[in-house]
């Protein structure tokens, strides 16, 4: 008979091994200067610069896998927050210096991005070698010419070589600078050097966040028809402003915080007992109001207490509702103690499957709660482990983590080797270690 402790040890051993595999895979996407990406149809040759973070190093052309060979502001910030953790946990000075160097290169690269001008990319739209049938995927010249200063900070992604992205995409996005500010603050808290470049980048991101706090924008899933008020965006903006207190004008910061808190309260549906992901909502059905982006927001903002933190009972009610939803709509969740989580009921991107980052976010929130609430320690540690068992069941033997898995078969779909997936696993494993040690 296999005992409970044996099951726990098996899970712990798997998590430790997968965390190491994930760190290696994540590192291969950072400063990947050894790679070259050629997009023949668009006459592009792209060599990643130092400090860039590839959303996925896999080479694909939407045939059928998506082309994620870009530096996303959001994804890179989440990855770099994990890099700061790896620096803090390093076994020796050499390892610590390696992770610190990656972060410092990221700061240099990111600072250059904030100074780009769209005019520099206009000529690349008119190259004779661009095939006529793909021109419909390119941005308009006028849109690029208007890209400067403030609008650059609202860009979701850039080419990995540090140039402007010329492709049509959902814009503007205001969560990226907030998440990057949180990553920089996390690096400083972990003992990283607050260089002049880091201070400048952090100031720009916090100022931008304060100016655009609570404004409508495109959400974290980058759907072009969702220029709205997103719970995710508001919470990470609030997190950046709270953790960045003292680094920007206090009256400006306080006013932005007040706007956000007022708006975020409107996201609570007392009728359905959940946080509404997007305002205005498209439906009044509870299952259409919720989205796992809400979990990601609370995890990344990491507010100490109060509303929109793990101390907020409404977050756990929303997680319960998400669990119920994905048990109903995902066949792969049959018989599981904790379900694999997708994004939303209406998600159809690559079939709308279960995402590693969202399922791992649920586990991470449980582990964080286990660490901070002694009364809930055992219950939350056990719940987090159930999500991790689900992740284990859906992870291939080689430890590779895609963007999502098919909702019926559980096979990997969408982007291969999603850097965010690896970062999310490392973060969850670290939070579990912290909870277990208590």
| Span 293-310, pLDDT tens digits | 999 999 999 999 999 999
* Percent of the chain whose predicted confidence (pLDDT) is above 70: 99
Residue with tokens 């965010």: 420
Distances (CA, A) of 78 to 169, 300, 380, 422, 430: 20, 8, 24, 11, 15
Identify the H or E element spanning 286: helix 286-289
Q: Is residue 215 part of a domain?
A: yes
Percentages helix, strand, coil for the chain (3-state, rounded to 5) are 55, 10, 35
The residue-averaged pLDDT of 321-347 equals 98
Is the pLDDT reported for residue 86 higher than 60? yes
pLDDT (tens digit per residue) in 400-414: 999 999 999 999 999
Q: Is residue 399 part of a domain?
A: no
Distances (CA, A) of 173 to 157, 227, 243: 10, 9, 21
Is the pLDDT reported for residue 1 higher than 60? no
Considering all CA atoms of the chain, what is the largest pairwise distance in Å, rounded to the nearest integer?
A: 70
CA distance 361 to 319: 10
Domain count, the chain: 1
CA distance 435 to 271: 34
Burial of 213 (0-12, 13-18, 19+ CB in 10 A): buried
DSSP string, 56-96: ------SSSS----EEEHHHHHHHHHHHHHHHHT-SSHHHH
Is the pLDDT reported for residue 2 higher than 50? no
Q: Using CA atoms in the order 260, 343, 320, 419, what is the torsion angle rounded to 10 degrees?
A: -90
Q: Is residue 243 part of a domain?
A: yes
Is the pLDDT reported for residue 5 higher than 90? no
Q: Is residue 163 part of a domain?
A: yes
CB 48 within 8 A of CB 54: yes
Q: Is residue 18 part of a domain?
A: no
Cα four-point dihedral sign 413, 39, 144, 248: positive
pLDDT (tens digit per residue) in 198-211: 999 999 999 999 99
The mean pLDDT of the chain is 97
Is the pLDDT reported for residue 3 higher than 60? no
CATH number, domain at 88? 1.50.10.10
Residue with tokens 């995409």: 169
Distances (CA, A) of 332 to 202, 352, 407, 408: 42, 13, 6, 5
Structure tokens at 132: 């006529």
The residue-averaged pLDDT of 150-156 equals 97
Identify the H or E element spanning 371: helix 356-372
- Buried (b) or exposed (e) across 325-339, using 16+ Cβ within 10 A? bbbeebebbeebebb
Q: Which domain holds residue 261?
A: 50-266
pLDDT (tens digit per residue) in 173-200: 999 999 999 999 999 999 999 999 999 9
CA 268 centroid distance within chain: 23
Q: What is the pTM of this model?
A: 0.97
Q: Is residue 156 part of a domain?
A: yes
Structure tokens at 216: 């409508």
* Percent of the chain whose predicted confidence (pLDDT) is above 90: 96
CB 312 within 8 A of CB 261: no
Burial of 360 (0-12, 13-18, 19+ CB in 10 A): buried
Is the pLDDT reported for residue 75 higher than 90? yes
Is the pLDDT reported for residue 259 higher than 70? yes
pLDDT confidence of 8, banded at 50, 70, 90? Answer: confident
Structure tokens at 349: 């991107």
Q: Is residue 354 part of a domain?
A: no
DSSP string, 158-227: EETTS-B--B-------HHHHHHHHHHHHHHHTT----HHHHHHHHHHHHHHHHTTT--B--TT--TT--
């Amino acid at each position: 008979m296999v005992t409970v402790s044996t099951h726990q040890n098996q899970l712990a051993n798997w998590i430790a091994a997968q965390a190491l595999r994930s760190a290696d895979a994540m590192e291969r996407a950072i400063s990947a200067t050894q790679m070259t990406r050629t997009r023949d149809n668009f006459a592009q040759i792209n060599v990643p610069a130092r400090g860039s973070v590839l959303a996925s190093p896999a080479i694909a052309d939407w045939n059928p896998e998506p082309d994620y060979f870009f530096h996303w502001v959001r994804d890179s910030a989440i990855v770099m927050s994990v890099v700061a953790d790896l620096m803090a946990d390093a076994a020796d000075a050499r390892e610590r210096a390696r992770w610190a160097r990656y972060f410092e290169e990221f700061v240099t690269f990111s600072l250059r991005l904030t100074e780009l001008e769209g005019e520099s990319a206009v000529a690349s739209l008119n190259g004779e070698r661009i095939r006529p049938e793909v021109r419909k995927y390119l941005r308009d010249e006028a849109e690029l010419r208007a890209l400067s200063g403030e609008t650059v900070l609202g860009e979701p992604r850039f080419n990995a070589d540090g140039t402007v992205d010329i492709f049509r995409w959902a814009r503007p996005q205001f969560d990226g600078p907030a998440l990057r500010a949180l990553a920089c603050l996390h690096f400083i808290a972990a003992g990283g050097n607050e260089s002049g470049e880091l201070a400048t980048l952090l100031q720009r991101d916090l100022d931008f966040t304060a100016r655009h706090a609570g404004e409508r924008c495109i959400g974290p899933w980058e759907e072009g028809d969702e220029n709205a008020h997103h719970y995710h965006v508001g919470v990470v903006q609030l997190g950046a402003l709270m953790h960045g207190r003292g680094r920007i004008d206090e009256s400006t910061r306080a006013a932005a915080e007040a706007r956000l808190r007022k708006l975020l309260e409107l996201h609570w549906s007392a009728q359905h007992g959940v946080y509404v992901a997007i305002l205005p909502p498209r439906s009044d059905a509870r299952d259409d109001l919720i989205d796992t982006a809400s979990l990601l927001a609370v995890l990344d903002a990491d507010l100490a207490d109060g509303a929109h933190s793990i101390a907020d009972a409404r977050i756990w009610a929303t997680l319960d509702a998400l669990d119920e939803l994905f048990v109903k709509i995902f066949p792969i969740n049959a018989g599981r103690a904790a379900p694999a989580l997708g994004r939303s009921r209406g998600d159809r991107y690559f079939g709308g499957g279960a995402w590693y980052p969202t399922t791992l976010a649920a586990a991470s929130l449980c582990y964080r709660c286990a660490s901070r609430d002694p009364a809930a320690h055992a219950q939350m540690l056990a719940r987090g482990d159930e999500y991790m068992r689900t992740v284990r069941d859906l992870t291939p033997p080689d430890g590779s983590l895609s963007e999502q898995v098919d909702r019926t078969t559980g096979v990997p779909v969408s982007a291969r080797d999603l850097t965010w997936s690896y970062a999310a696993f490392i973060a969850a494993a670290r939070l579990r270690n912290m909870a277990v040690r208590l």
